[in-house]
Structure 1
Amino acid sequence: MGKLSLAASAPLTGALPVRNGGMTLTLADPGPLTSVAPFAGQGPAVSAALKAATGLALPPTGQRVVSGDVALQWFGRDLWLLSGTEAPEMPAALTDQSDSWVALDLTGPRAAEVMARLVPVDLRDAAFPEGAAVRTELHTMMVAVARTGPETLRIMGFRSMAGTLVHAVSEAMETVVGM
């Protein structure tokens, strides 16, 4: 019997970037991803440990904070996502999410218009400024969306549905450009 060899492969090889009407959809590399769920009553201790290790404390609901290549994003009730670095020791359930998610950056002046066709959330600058984060549904897929720049939305979806996610956003880009 031969030896079985497995090798990691990048998601969406050849599918990106997608460019249309001044907008671009690209694959982002957020680095290591770790979900952080503080144990009961340990939120302040977890926040302090993260602050000491990364310079970032747990952000409030609906927010994302960044320091260099490291980001800490609200990811759900009593749940945050640390990206760009390994998680320090802390009183929390830590789960490596690196192989579970795909991160896409939608950039351009009409990015919020594109997403208006896909999610039931107002992602315009006035309602969703830089540093805002939300978990929502996009074509029956659960996604996380964060505003990472004035014209950039980071869309994170399950890696197993990456092709469907790119297809949905690409079609919405075509619709917006054709208007």
Structure 2
Amino acid sequence: MTDFRLASVPPATGPLPVTRGAMTLSLADPGPLWSVAPHRGEAAAVSRALQEAIGVSLPGPGRRHAAGGASVQWFGRNLWLVAGVAPPDLPGAAVTDQGDGWVTFDLAGPEGADVMARLIPVDTRPAAMPDQAAIRTELHGMMVAVARTAPDTLRIMGFRSMASTLTRTITEAMERVAAI
């Protein structure tokens, strides 16, 4: 019997990190990614099970919880993304490995919201999108998730197949902001 092993290949994103002005776009490694979709009426039980196992519960819409290397981010109606750790056995939910489907970037710097204002129809300034806020939106025709992970850092997740396009699009917006 032949032993086949798959090698993890980083997404094609071009040369990263990229710095323009006071902003840096870098490839982030969120660790394992799992979607969690509780069955009808099971969200509270799933949230308790996650809290007990990984120290993070299901946040409300538009929020993200993080602790000890694990995070749980609202990802849409009745859908959350667990990052950094594998979730425990959750009989009350559909759980799916998402690790190969997403590319994750960190946009760090005080003008990150100005960059995003050129790309998405959502206000990402800290007053409108405080620490640990999370959204799903469109960025130039590509669906993305954006979360504020620190006062000057936005985490941007997009489909892995769009990694190069996302890199180029965000870098171009960074160049426009830096030129002002």
* Fold shared, TM-score > 0.5 on shorter chain: yes
**Hey, what does 1:18 align to over in structure 2?**
18
CA deviation after TM superposition for structure 1 residue 21, in Å: 0.1
Residues 92/170 of structure 1: CA separation in 2 closer, same or farther (3 Å cut):
same
Paired with 2:148 and 2:7, the residues of 1 have a C-alpha distance of 33
Paired with 1:61 and 1:9, the residues of 2 have a C-alpha distance of 32
**Hey, what does 1:125 align to over in structure 2?**
126
Aligned length: 177
**Hey, what does 1:176 align to over in structure 2?**
177
Paired with 1:103 and 1:126, the residues of 2 have a C-alpha distance of 24
Query: Structure 2 length as normaliser, TM-score?
Result: 0.95
CA deviation after TM superposition for structure 1 residue 14, in Å: 4.9
CA deviation after TM superposition for structure 1 residue 56, in Å: 1.0
**Hey, what does 1:55 align to over in structure 2?**
55
Paired with 1:13 and 1:154, the residues of 2 have a C-alpha distance of 15
- Identity, in percent, stands at 59
Q: Is the 8 A contact 2:107 2:153 kept in 1?
A: yes
Q: Deviations over 1:56-94 (max 9, x none)?
A: 111000000100210000000000000000111111000
Root mean square deviation of aligned Cα: 1.4
Paired with 1:57 and 1:6, the residues of 2 have a C-alpha distance of 32
Paired letter, 1:84: G
Paired letter, 1:143: V
**Hey, what does 1:164 align to over in structure 2?**
165
Paired with 2:31 and 2:67, the residues of 1 have a C-alpha distance of 14
Q: Deviations over 1:6-27 (max 9, x none)?
A: 5331113652101110110000
Paired with 1:166 and 1:78, the residues of 2 have a C-alpha distance of 29
CA deviation after TM superposition for structure 1 residue 177, in Å: 0.7
2:106 is the alignment partner of 1:105: yes
Paired letter, 2:61: T
Q: Secondary structure at the match of 1:134?
A: strand
Paired with 1:117 and 1:7, the residues of 2 have a C-alpha distance of 36
Q: Deviations over 1:146-179 (max 9, x none)?
A: 0000100000000000000000000000000111
Q: Secondary structure at the match of 1:24?
A: strand
Paired with 1:6 and 1:32, the residues of 2 have a C-alpha distance of 16
- Segments of 5+ residues of structure 2 without an aligned counterpart are none
Query: Structure 1 length as normaliser, TM-score?
Result: 0.95
